[in-house]
């Protein structure tokens, strides 16, 4: 019987369509995604002093540091938003972006042992990383909520608006950007490993050219164009825009940023799809 005359469940070929994502298979492996998330959450704080409390300690300490450095020393304005809220929001949104990007960038190299021994839809791993970071973000938002509420009740009623309902959209958009960039980096790091080390360094530099601990409006007009070229700027501004009803948000900057994030995600997925099939020969 001829090869093509038969009904195969799986066909392994040398060439693959770069856009072939077997969504059905990923859904079939949803239990695995759940277990990966559970593993990563559980492992992170096993045999530690404070355990999952770290999810809360991190943003609190960073906020306090920002208050001291940027508010009291550098004296940078916060567009009339209570500084505590401003830094807290900046910290959690940037932490989500940065951690997600870093972890996605490590997806291939960190899992090479498993990938080299068993087949399962590889996309389950980046998806589970995304879910894990999302859960951490939600925990931090839950902590943020009472502080936010307290400021609204005590003298800042105007910061809340109907736009808050857009928060999930902003989070999803941040996720798309970070996953896209992360997957692109991960495809490069399997060849050039020094990039993994360089990444955390560049990310910390990147934070300072992104309006995280200062608003875009504080940047002088001459330089603002460079900040607007940074697609992450609009994300951070939008995050504050929905939370505090302030920020420099224009249709142009938003559509530019959304466009970038979609390009990054597409490129990231295509690269990942291509690399997952042969990277084990390279690494």
Residues that bind another protein in the complex, under the rule CB under 8 A: 1, 3, 6-14, 16, 29, 31-32, 34-36, 39, 42-43, 46-47, 113-120, 191-192, 277-278, 280-282
150 vs 191, beta carbon nearer another protein: 191
Contacts of residue 67, Cβ cutoff 8 Å, sequence gap at least 6: 83, 84, 87
Classify 247 as helix, strand or coil. Answer: coil
| Closest distance to another protein from the beta carbon of 151 (Å) | 40
Query: Which stretches of 135-191 are assigned E, i.e. beta strand?
Result: none
| Closest distance to another protein from the beta carbon of 197 (Å) | 14
Q: What distance in Å separates the CA atoms of residue 157 and residue 120, rounded to the nearest whole number?
A: 51
Q: What distance in Å separates the CA atoms of residue 42 and residue 58, rounded to the nearest whole number?
A: 17
189 vs 253, beta carbon nearer another protein: 189
- Inter-residue contact 182 to 101 (CB < 8 Å): yes
54 vs 256, beta carbon nearer another protein: 54
| Closest distance to another protein from the beta carbon of 132 (Å) | 14
Query: Which stretches of 136-282 are assigned E, i.e. beta strand?
Result: none
Q: What distance in Å separates the CA atoms of residue 175 and residue 169, rounded to the nearest whole number?
A: 10
Q: What distance in Å separates the CA atoms of residue 171 and residue 14, rounded to the nearest whole number?
A: 38
| Closest distance to another protein from the beta carbon of 36 (Å) | 8
99 vs 189, beta carbon nearer another protein: 189
73 vs 282, beta carbon nearer another protein: 282
| Closest distance to another protein from the beta carbon of 189 (Å) | 12
Classify 220 as helix, strand or coil. Answer: coil
66 vs 125, beta carbon nearer another protein: 125
- Inter-residue contact 141 to 92 (CB < 8 Å): yes
C-alpha dihedral (122, 127, 130, 136), degrees to nearest 10:
-110
Q: How many CB atoms lie within 10 A of CB 199?
A: 22
| Closest distance to another protein from the beta carbon of 277 (Å) | 4
């Amino acid at each position: 019987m001829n090869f093509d005359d038969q009904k195969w469940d799986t066909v392994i070929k040398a060439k693959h369509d770069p856009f072939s994502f077997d969504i059905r298979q990923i859904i079939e492996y949803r239990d695995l995604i759940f277990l990966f998330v559970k593993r990563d959450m559980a492992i992170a704080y096993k045999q530690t002093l404070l355990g999952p409390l770290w999810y809360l300690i991190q943003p609190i300490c960073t906020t306090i540091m920002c208050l001291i450095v940027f508010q009291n020393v550098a004296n940078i304005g916060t567009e009339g938003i209570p500084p505590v809220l401003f830094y807290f929001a900046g910290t959690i949104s940037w932490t989500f972006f940065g951690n997600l990007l870093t972890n996605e960038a490590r997806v291939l190299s960190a899992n090479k042992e498993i990938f080299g021994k068993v087949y399962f839809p590889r996309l389950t791993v980046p998806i589970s990383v995304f879910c894990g970071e999302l859960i951490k973000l939600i925990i931090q938002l839950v902590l943020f909520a009472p502080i936010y509420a307290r400021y609204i009740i005590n003298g800042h009623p105007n910061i809340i608006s109907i736009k808050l309902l857009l928060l999930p959209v902003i989070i999803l958009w941040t996720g798309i950007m970070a996953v896209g960039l992360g997957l692109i980096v991960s495809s490069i790091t399997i060849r050039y490993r020094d990039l993994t080390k360089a990444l955390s360094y560049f990310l910390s530099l990147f934070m300072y050219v992104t309006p995280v601990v200062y608003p875009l409006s504080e940047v002088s007009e001459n330089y603002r164009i460079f900040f607007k070229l940074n697609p992450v700027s609009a994300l951070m501004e939008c995050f504050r825009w929905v939370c505090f009803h302030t920020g420099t948000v224009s249709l142009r900057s938003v559509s530019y940023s959304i466009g970038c994030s979609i390009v990054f995600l597409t490129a990231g997925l295509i690269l990942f799809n291509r690399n997952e099939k042969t990277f084990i020969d390279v690494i």
